[in-house]
Amino acid sequence: MENLVTLADLELEDIEELFDLTDKLKQKHQQGTEHKLLAGQTLGMIFQKSSTRTRVSFEAGMFQLGGHALFLSANDIQLGRGETISDTAKTLSRYIDGIMIRTYEHSDVEELAREATVPVINGLTDLLHPCQVLADLYTVQEVRGELQGLKMTYIGDGNNVANSLLLGTTKVGMNISLAIPEGYRPEKEILATAEKQAAKSGSQIEIIDDPLQAAQGADAVYTDVWASMGDEDEAAERKQAFKDYQVDQELMAEANEEAIFLHCLPAYRGQEVTAEVIDGEQSKVFDEAENRMHVQKALMVELMK
Ligand code: CP
Ligand code: NVA
């Protein structure tokens, strides 16, 4: 593994290894045992969009590994004034040991990964959110002890999180059912890649209109915001389009009794999910958020050590 741009680039074995290392690092952290595996190393974190979890989990994680993390707001570095991605990649590679980037255009991350000589991690683009889905899969595995054959249900917008869920679940052999209205469905190319992966892993993919049908027999029910970062000006129109796509108790009742509720956060109670569900017993959203840090620490060790 040289970079993490998309989960499609990982082998199943890479994910298994990553989760084994995550178990170890999480345990060390909980026991208060030092694990400074990246002592002396620096991660640069370029942010063109807001973040709570991604920024803090990478920064705290890097500190726990004995390294240092630099917050680079795209507006404050020359990238925001028109310096090229390529020149930014080449310059940063002379100073630091890894780059995490959160931006709009997915092709910008691909270019950064091509031009940098240090590992590049995708911290979210309009197309994908791979670090999130690694933490999501890890959270399911923690609860259920396995992933193969379990069912993930996703309700709502066919956005970056939905795209990465398609790529992640079909890598590990989970079945995935997505209830997404026409016009908001995942990119054709992503779906084609997921279908290829599914043919290898045995996963089943279903994309339908009906949320209750999608939730039937689910082991994990997932939703995300109706308007992602960059879609704010469509918020009113999207509220209308997704009004029947709220995860509530009625929908959770269609899932398996022991099903968990996941959300990448930030969440908007009363829109994509009711307070009753996200604050209820089946919700694992804060374990999921915590696991971002543990999984990303393992990822940085695999990539940068
Ligand atoms: N889930 C997630 O990526 O959260 P932030 O936008 O707060 O980083
Ligand atoms: N789909 C959301 C995820 C936020 C973590 C967004 O892109 O805004």
Task: Give Rg (Cα) of the chain.
Answer: 19
Q: Specify whether 142 is located in the same domain as 269.
A: yes
CB burial class (10 A; 0-12, 13-18, 19+) of residue 171?
buried
Q: Specify whether 207 is located in the same domain as 184.
A: yes
Centre of ligand 2 to C-alpha 33, Å, is 33
Q: Specify whether 35 is located in the same domain as 147.
A: no
Centre of ligand 2 to C-alpha 228, Å, is 5
Q: What per-residue confidence (pLDDT) applies to 117? A: 98
Q: Is residue 126 within 8 Å of residue 133, measured between CB atoms?
A: no
Centre of ligand 2 to C-alpha 226, Å, is 9
Q: Which residues contact 245 (CB under 8 A, 6 or more apart)?
A: 155, 156, 179, 180, 181, 211, 223, 226, 272
CATH, residue 274: 3.40.50.1370
Q: Specify whether 236 is located in the same domain as 295.
A: no
- Give me the active site residues, please: 102, 129, 132, 224, 264, 292
User: Has this prediction a pTM greater than 0.95?
Assistant: yes
Q: How far apart are CA 158 and CA 181, in angstroms?
A: 9
Number of domains in the chain: 2
Give average pLDDT by consecutive 10-residue segment, the chain, 305 residues.
97 98 98 98 98 98 98 95 97 98 98 98 98 99 98 98 98 98 96 98 98 98 98 98 98 98 98 98 98 98 97
Query: Cβ < 6 Å from ligand 1: which residues?
Result: 51-54, 124, 132, 264-265
Q: Specify whether 164 is located in the same domain as 274.
A: yes
**Domain assignment of residue 1, yes or no:** no
Q: Specify whether 111 is located in the same domain as 171.
A: no
Q: Specify whether 125 is located in the same domain as 143.
A: no
Q: How far apart are CA 243 and CA 226, in angstroms?
A: 9
Q: Specify whether 100 is located in the same domain as 248.
A: no
Q: For 37-61, what is each residue's pLDDT tens digit? A: 999 999 999 999 999 999 999 999 9
Residue 186: give the domain boundaries.
132-288
Q: How far apart are CA 234 and CA 277, in angstroms?
A: 26
C-alpha distances in Å from residue 156, one per residue of 24, 218, 261, 302? 34, 15, 14, 33
The DSSP output letter for 232 is G
